[in-house]
Structure 1
Amino acid sequence: MTDQASAPRAPSTKRLEPLRHVNADVLNIAYYEAGPADGPAVLLMHGFPYDIHSYVDVAPDLAAQGCRVIVPYLRGYGPTTFRDKATPRSGEQAAVGADMMALMDALSIKRAVFAGYDWGGRAASIGAAIWPERCIGLVCANGYMIQDVANAMVPTRPEREVPLWYQYYFQLERGRAGLAADRRGIARILWSQWSPTWVFDDACFERTAVAHDNPDYVDVVIHSYRHRFGLAEGDPRYAEMQRRLGALPAITVPAVVLDGADDWVTAPRGGSASAAKFTNRRAYRVIPDAGHNLPQEAPEVFTAAVMELIKG
């Protein structure tokens, strides 16, 4: 099924501010909140190498429709910080999933729609799979996002390997040094490659790129990409969750799965490959003229998917 997206637009100049801060397990999380406190809660989770401004249009639209909207900076991004310098700077999937749930607990949110793409889609998928009682429904780009670390070294078709160059680069100390030396340069290349039809300007890019100046960004990113290939040890505090994720649990809540038709890094594959992992009702849509950063490229579609789950 294919949805109609709006024509390309100039990037929004808005900012999601002011920010709030809350201690949530190992982190002090910086987040944007909008909408009525008693409205249905929505957690909007950003990806790599982006930030909360992927939701610069989605968040106010949902708030205007009566939702309580929470948009956190992930670990290693923006003003989010680790509370203890001794905490491992893990970027493993279990960590980002646990962070989202810790934020819900810190804000006394019982249930919410979990929505995201890329790393944020993985956090949302983990929350939906492991804590379905806390999840109203899932909006996720690119299908079932929980990593199969046990089989991560099995190669795919060559044309699918090419877009993953950055993941292989980050396995090397040369890649760590390259990311540390030029975070913006790498991010800009990835934005352009992953969303070839999205027109963004320097101001739009810089509004997000400053979030990558977080002192933990490089460590968290490098660990994320090494751990998913089984080439880095995880933080022991997440070992049990990682064991559960290793079983590739089903997502038992209602879900809307979105693919950008022009997503170069995770090309649409019809949604059938992971359909069996969704055991409740599941809608699948391909969004034309959109790439990897779906909520920023097609905000109306993303907002509508969230509201579809809230309205049931």
Structure 2
Amino acid sequence: MSNHAPIQYVRTPILNLAYEEHGPITGDPVILLHGFPYSPRAFDEIAPPLAAKGYRVIVPYLRGYGPTRFNSPDTLRSGQQAALAQDLLELMDALSIEQAALCGYDWGGRAACIVAALWPERVRCLVTGDGYNLQNIPRSIRPRAPETEHRLWYQYYFHTPRGVEGLTENRRGVCELLWKLWSPTWANRAERYPLSAPAFDNPDFVDVVIHSYRHRFMYVAGDPALESIEEALTLQPPISVTTISLCGADDGVGPAGEVDDDIEHFTGCYERRMLAGVGHNIPEEAPEATLKALLDLLQR
């Protein structure tokens, strides 16, 4: 049985942005943001219960995913962090949402964290997957510990022409492998993957993904229109809004350490929750814990 709502569209300056909406339009807004390589299906067990409690729940398809399309063929298919944040702000503006609760992980968590850091007045509260998701791009060229480097093989793969070709020809296979590596203990992975995989057939998916993983290592230029945001992010601005960070103990991308290295980036009320038996796809693997975190903040 499917829990997802019909797809709707809103036009922003850059995108014809597809989203799913649950609950009353008059409800307090909650925006749920997926990552790479995922889709709104990550929130199938979270959006309906929130809607049942009277919240207006918006679940967008990020740029390069599903039915979301660029308005112009001339727009750079950027996947840089500033673009994701700008898309979130423009979605809120287009839907006349002055302030929303945000919940995101991976790319979506990055967008949510950036908006919370730079435009805190727009964010009621934040649930972030894996803490402070802002990229420190000036430091990206510094080598990391070997056990960390090997987990980033896919990023280095995408830096090469072979990686572009591989993702183009085998996007479903590549993404399914990442699901397996990143969520090694998730029992429902094989059952859930086919529900998200069609979102990767977007004609801009490869270009956006490749740009994202090259830009964060300074191998390609970003969108000049977003340079002011990127400059602000080099300062690693703190997040002052009330936040709960959810961390999967079995995350195959970057397992969370016992010491919370991100706490220094949060200056407001902040809590970190470790989720045993959970990998990288936090809301889909742990919907009850994700829903509880949101409601704990919303109902304060």
The match for 1:189 among 177, 186, 190 is 177
Question: Are the aligned partners of 2:5 and 2:22 in contact in 1 as well (CA < 8 Å)?
Answer: no
TM-score, normalised relative to structure 1: 0.94
Question: Are the aligned partners of 1:271 and 1:284 in contact in 2 as well (CA < 8 Å)?
Answer: no
Q: Equivalent residue for 1:9?
A: none
Deviation of the 1:272 alpha carbon: 2.1
Amino acid aligned to 2:246: L
Whole-Å separation in 2 of the counterparts to 1:271 and 1:115: 23
Whole-Å separation in 1 of the counterparts to 2:47 and 2:5: 11
Query: SS of the counterpart of 1:199?
Result: coil
Q: Larger relative contact order (C-alpha < 8 A, sep ≥ 6)?
A: 1
**Distance of aligned partners of 1:201 and 1:277 in 2 relative to their CA distance in 1, 3 Å threshold:** closer
Query: SS of the counterpart of 2:267?
Result: coil
User: Any stretches of 5+ residues in structure 1 without a counterpart?
Assistant: 1-12
Q: Equivalent residue for 1:8?
A: none
Is the counterpart of residue 252 in structure 1 residue 204 in structure 2? Answer: no
Using the TM superposition, name which of 98-107 and 59-68 deviates more: 59-68
Amino acid aligned to 1:273: D
Whole-Å separation in 1 of the counterparts to 2:271 and 2:234: 25
Deviation of the 1:308 alpha carbon: 1.3
Amino acid aligned to 1:161: E
Whole-Å separation in 1 of the counterparts to 2:197 and 2:259: 31
Amino acid aligned to 1:305: A
Question: Are the aligned partners of 2:180 and 2:189 in contact in 1 as well (CA < 8 Å)?
Answer: no
Whole-Å separation in 1 of the counterparts to 2:292 and 2:44: 15
The match for 2:282 among 269, 272, 294 is 294
Deviation of the 1:114 alpha carbon: 1.1
Query: Cα RMSD over matched residues?
Result: 1.1
Q: Equivalent residue for 1:303?
A: 291
**Distance of aligned partners of 1:235 and 1:294 in 2 relative to their CA distance in 1, 3 Å threshold:** same
Whole-Å separation in 1 of the counterparts to 2:295 and 2:191: 30
Amino acid aligned to 2:157: Y
Query: SS of the counterpart of 2:124?
Result: strand
Q: Equivalent residue for 1:73?
A: 61
Amino acid aligned to 1:226: R
The match for 1:28 among 13, 16, 23 is 16
Q: Equivalent residue for 1:18?
A: 6
Deviation of the 1:201 alpha carbon: 5.6
Whole-Å separation in 1 of the counterparts to 2:129 and 2:270: 13
Whole-Å separation in 1 of the counterparts to 2:147 and 2:263: 23
**Equivalenced residues, count:** 300
Q: Equivalent residue for 1:175?
A: 163
Q: Equivalent residue for 1:204?
A: 192
Question: Are the aligned partners of 2:242 and 2:269 in contact in 1 as well (CA < 8 Å)?
Answer: yes
Q: Equivalent residue for 1:220?
A: 208
Whole-Å separation in 2 of the counterparts to 1:281 and 1:71: 25
Query: SS of the counterpart of 1:147?
Result: coil
Deviation of the 1:271 alpha carbon: 5.3
